[in-house]
Every structure is written in structure tokens, then in C-alpha cells.
Structure 1
Amino acid sequence: MPSKTSRLMLTTLLCLPSTGNTTTLHRCEAADGSLTFTTLSCANNERLLLQEVRPYSPGSTVALIPEARHEEISGMNIRKREMAVVGRTQDKCGDLIDARQKREAIINQRIIAGMSQQDVESALGKPDKISIRNSATTYRYDLKRGRSAQVNFDEKGCVTGKLKSRTAKSPR
């Protein structure tokens, strides 16, 4: 009576996929150039070539394209090109401030020359009043205790100069 170990070994061997799944086909080439693949023999006037066929097994990898050669070929003349940055947004305000400065100003609710109208609204919110004269736009923010702030934009929609702050006069 076989032991448990030998039974387990036999069961494991029976479950393994067989590696000899190749099939040999006869490739029959006629005088006119037509090809026939068959497991039977070829006709008398056909040329016989044996061809091995390995069926695809899941989990296996087959290289469809040969690997590229990365070594430099001695006869090649390689020109170095300047790198192009694709997808970089150009600021309509002329890149007066960089992204880090702009981000810090928005977080600290400060207005810097070179910010766009969208940046100002991100920092301070929607304005209480918008005035447009010629091609210049002015945002007015009414703050607490009678104070107000005014931001001036040029024709491109960029902050010109600094934020102007006013205090309402007392009634005395």
C-alpha cells in the first residue's frame, strides 16, 4: 500500500501541465506556390516540410517584436535638440510672479501685482462691486468696520500696482 507522501506526489505530477504540447504539422508546398498544412502526408507532387506548432498556454509570454538595440551605431550622426516643454500654461500677465508666490499670496489673502482676476477671486472671494472704465476693471471689497479694499486690473485682467485700502470717515 503506497504511503501518503507518494500519493500526494503522484497527484501533484498528474496535475502539472504537460510541457510536450507541441504538434508537428506537415507543410505541403505545391509547384504553383500554394501552401497546405495538414496532419496527413502531402501529395506526390508537393514538397514536404515539417513544422512544429506550440499552442498558446495562459500565463506564458511570447515576444512579438524583437527588442530594440540601444547601442549607438558608429556611422550615425546624432543631433542634440533642445528640450521642448509641452503643456505649460503661459500666464497672460507675463509671468511676473511664479506659481509658489501666487499660491502663498492666495493662501494668505494678499494681492500682488501680476495676479489675474481669477487669482484675486480665489484669495478674496467675489467682489462686492465691479467697475469698468475704458479697458481697466476695478474690484471693490467692502470689509468690516466701514473699511473697503480696491483692486485695479489692466486691459489683460492683471493686477496693476498694489491693493488700495480705504477707511470710511467717521460722522464727527
Structure 2
Amino acid sequence: MRGQHVAALLAAALLYPIADSSAASVFRCVDADGHITFTRHGCNDDQQQHLQDARNHTPSSGKPIPLADPGRRTTAASASSGEVVIVGQQDDGCGNLLTSSERRQAIIRKEVRRGMSRTDVESSLGKPDRVTSSNGQQRYHYREKRKGGSSRQVSFDEAGCVKK
């Protein structure tokens, strides 16, 4: 008898609908300049406060979830000066004279261009036949392998970049 009572309580507990614990009250705060902040603690007095629906419905729950309304979008004010601001840029050590695609194309075509590094030149032409140094600057010497072939020199500056 006691076992049936425990089984009935367990079955009732499993069938009892549980409140959605993933829901939370989230406030959308808009200040006078139009900056938006989301918080769970309410907005300041000088901000407009809107309650957001922050429920994460389970997949295939049968509840329709509205998509974003593109008609409600507002465009941000653009800078009046038209000035471009670069937030971050990789420095290749040679003044960024070549883009990565220009560098790749030069290596594929076995060309040497100003702004390439020693590694780029070796990727393009291979290991040099001879290396000379003078006043902190290096020079790679390449000789054609065929009889009577021409020679080629590539000069690098103090930073190890091709100079021309």
C-alpha cells in the first residue's frame, strides 16, 4: 500500500506542469542619445524603460516565435565627416605595402615585390644560392641552374623587407 502511494506521488510530480524557469524579466533601457542597454535590474530615471520577453522556447514546442520585423529597424546616424576609422589591423613588419592577396599572387608568379619579407622571397624563389651582408642589410643571390644562366639579387633593409 505504501509503495502504491509513493508511486502515485512520483507520477503526479512528473505530470505536474513546471513553470518555465528559463524566463527572466529583462528591461530595455533607452537614454536621451538613443543608446540601448539591457538589464535585469530596471532602468535609471532618465531612461525609457521597456519590458522585454526573454523566454527561450524549447524547439518544436508548437509555440510560434515571431521573427524580427525589418520595418522597425532604424538606421544609425553616420559620421558627418565621412572619415574611415580602422579599429585593428595586422602589421606585417614591412609597412603593409602588400595585401595578402597581392603577396600570394606574387609568390605564385615567382615575383619579388617591395614590402615582401625574407620568408616571402624564399617561398617565391626558393633558398638563395648565396647570402651576403653589408651594414646590417642582407642580399640574396640566385643563379639560374642552366648553363650560362643569369643571376638575380634581392636586397633587404634592416627590418628584413625587400627594398627597391
Give TM-score, length-normalised by structure 2: 0.52
CA distance in 2 between counterparts of 1:116 and 1:75 reads 51
2:5 match: none
How big is the shift at 1:92?
A: 1.0
| Corresponding position of 1:8 | none
CA deviation vs aligned residue, 1:12-66 (integer Å, no higher than 9, x gap): xxxxx989533xxxxxxxxxxxxxxxxxxxxxxxxxxxxxx94xxxxxx8516x3
Q: State how far apart, in whole Å, the 2-side matches of 1:132 and 1:125 are.
A: 19
Q: What RMSD over aligned residues (CA atoms) do the two structures have, in Å? A: 3.5
The Cα offsets for residues 60-104 of structure 1, whole Å up to 9 and x where unpaired, read as x8516x37555x524466399x6733xx42021111222221111
Structure 2 CA distance, aligned partners of 1:112 and 1:67?
59
Residue equivalent to 1:73: 30
Counterpart position of 1:63: 22
Who is 2:115 aligned against?
114
User: In the alignment, which residue of structure 2 is the partner of 1:50?
Assistant: none
Q: Partner of 1:158 in structure 2?
A: 161
Q: Matched residues in 2 for 1:149 and 1:125: separation?
A: 12
Gaps of 5+ in 2: 1-10, 37-76, 78-84
**Secondary structure, aligned partner of 2:154:** strand
Give the TM-score, by structure 1 length.
0.50
Provide the C-alpha distance between the structure 2 equivalents of 1:68 and 1:102, rounded to a whole number of angstroms.
49
3-state SS of paired residue (1:132): strand
Q: Distance in 2 between matches of 1:62 and 1:75?
A: 34
- For residues 115-141 of structure 1, the C-alpha deviation after alignment (integer angstroms, 9 at most, x for no partner) is 111110111111111111111100111
Which residue is equivalent to 1:30? none
Distance 1:153 1:68, change over 3 A: farther
1:104 is matched with which residue? Answer: 105
Letter in 2 for 1:118: T
Q: Give aligned-pair identity as a percent.
A: 34
How many Å apart are 1:144 and its aligned residue? 2.6
- CA displacement, residues 97-116 of structure 1 (integer Å, 9 cap, x when unaligned): 22221111001000011111
Give the number of aligned pairs: 106
The structure number with the bigger radius of gyration is: 1
